[in-house]
Amino acid sequence: MPYNHSGALGVQRLSWNPICTLGWNCLFRLVIFEQSPASQAMASTKKDQRIEVRFLQKSGMSQVEIGRRLRDVHGAAAISQTTVRRWFQRAEQGKNLKDQARSGQPKKRTPENIQEATDILNDDRRTSLRGLSRMLQISKGTTHKLLHKDLEMTKKSAKWVPHLLTDGQKQRRVLMAWQSLAMMRRRVNPINQVVMEDESWICAWEPESNRASKQWLRQGEPRPEKVCKEQSTQKVMLTVFFDEIGMIHYETTPTGLGIGGEVYRGILGCFVTALEQKRPDLYRNPHTWALLHDGAPAHRARVCLRFLGEQSIQLLPHPGYSPDLTPADFWFFNRVKEPLRGIRFRDVQALIAALQETIDNVQVPEFAAAMDRFLEHLHRCIAAQGSYFERS
């Protein structure tokens, strides 16, 4: 474009070019902007640079030349070459160089999307956070706040339970819990003490638990390794009788000898003998205590029930599929098995010797605490309407 200089004004005076559709106003702004430092500071905005890009594009400059010119004039405030290219292409297409309208601030947690989230989760409780965010068309952060603050929900894994209880089984658990508490609270001949009985297999080799195998490691140290093997086939059946004071009687039955009615009748006879020696008050006053054992077939054998009747031993009701209502299941067997995990015993005799030492190490306060938890579990079973409850 032809131009000449005027020394008086020190301003470049451009001749009229009909291809420029922006008029003299834009030309004057660019010229003053290019010559005056004060004008440079005033024109360092994207709005002014849009005008300059359109003018320079109309005057025939290339994208590279326009970008170089803007950087020379604006310095660090100049738009990037990518923006120059985008504006240049839009100017060639005759489009407006202004930024297009945006969606604005992200959607908030409104009553509408809270209700929509509730409906989605009622249909599928396993919906992921990402999936719910996509369906609601809001950010993951907003979805997270909606779930935790508005709906007060958390996502948890399913818990392992011994059995999927039916409604009838739940009702039976509640009924027997009430009966047990009533027997302990009745005015006439209340039960002051409960003797727990149960059996469990003790293996000569059992892998240690993940919790027991944890170690403190420094950064960069490799994780320890352990062999994943099944339990040993060598094992013994441990039968225990204990109360809140401590162990009354226990014995082991070797592998291959099942606990039937006759075998359990013999074990009960040994228990009564130990009771006479260790708890003479209970032996002389059978109405002051009750025996709690589960409904295993051996426990319900006629020969066993006859013997219990002859000894005037009361039975505390116990529902099926309820290890959470038996201290031997929810406490004692885990207590004696844990020190034996990860140890490989050469034979059954070595296992029995280690088992006896472990049982002797159980302290009296531990038995008393287990009995307190037993009463607590009865109340929690009633409160949960017979369902399994979370561990305390």
Q: Which of 77, 78, 84 is nearest to 63 (CA)?
A: 84
Instruction: Say if CB 301 and CB 295 are below 8 A apart.
Output: no
Best CA proximity match to 360, nearest among 262, 197, 242: 242
pLDDT of residue 359: 95
* pLDDT score at 200: 93
1, 59 contact by CB (below 8 A): yes
Q: Note the pLDDT tens digit of each residue in 12-62.
A: 444 444 444 444 444 444 443 444 444 444 444 677 788 888 888 888 888
Residue 354 pLDDT: 94
* pLDDT tens-digit map of 225-275: 776 666 677 889 999 999 999 999 999 987 767 788 899 999 999 999 999
Are the CB atoms for 31 and 73 separated by under 8 Å? no
**Alpha carbon distance 295, 299 (integer Å):** 6
Please report the pLDDT score of residue 3 as a whole number: 41
d(CA 311, CA 238): 23
Distance, CA of 254 to chain centre = 41
Amino acid in the structure at residue 7: G
pTM: 0.63
Residue stretches of the chain with pLDDT short of 70: 1-45, 97-107, 187-189, 227-231, 256, 392
The pLDDT of residue 191 is 76
Residue 7 has a pLDDT of: 38
- pLDDT value of residue 378: 94
- Three-class SS state of 181: helix
In terms of Cα–Cα distance, which of 180, 183, 163, 179 is closest to 329? Answer: 163
Q: CA-CA distance, 311 to 325, in Å (whole number)? A: 25
Q: What was the pLDDT predicted at 36?
A: 47
| Alpha carbon distance 381, 390 (integer Å) | 10
